[in-house]
């Protein structure tokens, strides 16, 4: 404790007292802000905009179609992302330089472009450049590719990091047993790498769930509409914001469990 006469008064506080004071000030500020907001906000109006039970109830059961479509779009894009991303990751770590160049270029391009732009390219650019092209599954195919391309770049980077995290000794053991390079990758490296990247891949799934809200730009029908578009339509029809709240809650119903799962898996990874 500094008790020299020249020290200014506040310097004489112990670190503990100082921490307490700082904490007290922070609480005071938070309480003040909340109090001001509560006083200023027009609660009746907010409740009217967001909590109209009859409007919320009217969204059901139709909302389930769009909820289901959100899941389908997410899963399709993720599957496409994996099917393309894993080979790209393998090319990234290949000893054959042209593979590495291609994979690096691919990742840089699709990680650098906005998902919305890629979706436009797939939905409108490609059909215009190649008239007569038909995506398998119509809008579902367009979404799988349009969102999956961006996703595949992120997945490739995660998987590459996973591959590089597999200890070298595992590869040497496999090679010393007579496994070829490819055999070693398939039997030893990839299974271990994919285990390592389950948490980042789960996060990618969360990102995709949200990015599926971009699908509306492709022009969707009632049957192919996803959650955000549905909520926005309801917003327009009812001139009320309750549908946004319902839609948001339904997103959280998907993303929060995924986030929790990712965190659980991360901790499980620590234990190993």
Partner 1 sequence: MTTREAAGDAPIVRIEGLHKRFGDNEVLRGIDLEIAEGEVVCLIGPSGSGKSTLLRCVNLLEEPTEGTITAAGHDMTGPDADLDAARCDIGMVFQHFNLFSHLSILDNVAIAQRRVRKTGRAEAEAEARRLLAQVGIEGKERARPSQLSGGQQQRVAIARALAMKPRLMLFDEPTSALDPELVGEVLSVMKGLAAEGMTMLVVTHEMAFAREVADRVLFLDGGVIVEQGPPAEVLTDPKTERARSFLHRVLHPVD
Task: Note the residues at the interface with partner 1 (CB under 8 A).
Answer: 167, 169-170, 172-180, 183, 187-188, 191-192, 195, 272
CA separation, residue 89 to residues 65, 138, 151, 152, 168 (Å): 35, 28, 13, 9, 17
CA separation, residue 218 to residues 112, 145, 241 (Å): 21, 12, 24
Least distance from partner 1 to the Cβ atom of residue 179, Å: 6
CA separation, residue 49 to residues 19, 38, 52, 105, 231 (Å): 42, 16, 7, 48, 14
Least distance from partner 1 to the Cβ atom of residue 262, Å: 20
Is the Cβ of residue 36 or residue 173 nearer to partner 1 in the bound state? 173
Is the Cβ of residue 195 or residue 210 nearer to partner 1 in the bound state? 195
The string of DSSP codes covering 7-71 is: S-GGGGS-HHHHHHHHHHHHHHHHHHHHHHHHHHS-HHHHHHHH--HHHHHHHTTHHHHHHHHHH
Is the Cβ of residue 105 or residue 191 nearer to partner 1 in the bound state? 191
Least distance from partner 1 to the Cβ atom of residue 151, Å: 25
Least distance from partner 1 to the Cβ atom of residue 189, Å: 10
CA neighbours within 13 Å on the CB side: how many for 109? 9
Least distance from partner 1 to the Cβ atom of residue 199, Å: 16
Is the Cβ of residue 26 or residue 170 nearer to partner 1 in the bound state? 170
Is the Cβ of residue 153 or residue 193 nearer to partner 1 in the bound state? 193
Is the Cβ of residue 103 or residue 196 nearer to partner 1 in the bound state? 196
CA separation, residue 230 to residues 123, 160, 193, 221, 223 (Å): 20, 37, 38, 10, 10
Least distance from partner 1 to the Cβ atom of residue 186, Å: 8
């Amino acid at each position: 404790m500094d008790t020299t006469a020249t020290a200014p008064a506040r310097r004489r506080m112990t670190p503990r007292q100082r921490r307490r004071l700082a904490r007290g000030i922070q609480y005071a500020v938070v309480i003040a802000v909340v109090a001001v907001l509560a006083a200023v906000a027009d609660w009746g109006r907010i409740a009217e905009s967001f909590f109209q039970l009859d409007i919320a109830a009217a969204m059901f059961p139709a909302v389930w179609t769009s909820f289901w479509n959100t899941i389908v779009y997410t899963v399709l894009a993720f599957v496409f992302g994996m099917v393309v991303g894993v080979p790209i990751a393998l090319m990234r770590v290949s000893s054959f330089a042209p593979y590495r160049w291609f994979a690096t270029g691919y990742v840089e391009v699709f990680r650098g472009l906005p998902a919305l732009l890629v979706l436009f390219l797939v939905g409108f650019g490609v059909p215009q450049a190649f008239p007569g092209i038909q995506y398998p599954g119509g809008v579902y195919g367009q979404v799988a590719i349009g969102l999956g391309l961006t996703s595949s770049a992120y997945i490739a980077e995660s998987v590459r990091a996973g591959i590089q995290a597999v200890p070298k000794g595992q590869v040497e053991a496999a090679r010393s047993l007579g496994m070829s390079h490819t055999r070693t990758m398939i039997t030893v490296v990839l299974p271990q790498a994919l285990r390592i990247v389950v948490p980042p891949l789960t996060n990618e799934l969360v990102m995709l769930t949200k990015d599926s809200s971009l699908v509306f730009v492709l022009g969707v029908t009632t049957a192919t509409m996803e959650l955000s578009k549905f909520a926005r339509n309801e917003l327009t029809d009812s001139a009320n914001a309750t549908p946004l709240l319902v839609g948001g809650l339904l997103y959280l119903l998907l993303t929060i469990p995924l986030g929790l799962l990712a965190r659980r898996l991360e901790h499980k990874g620590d234990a190993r």
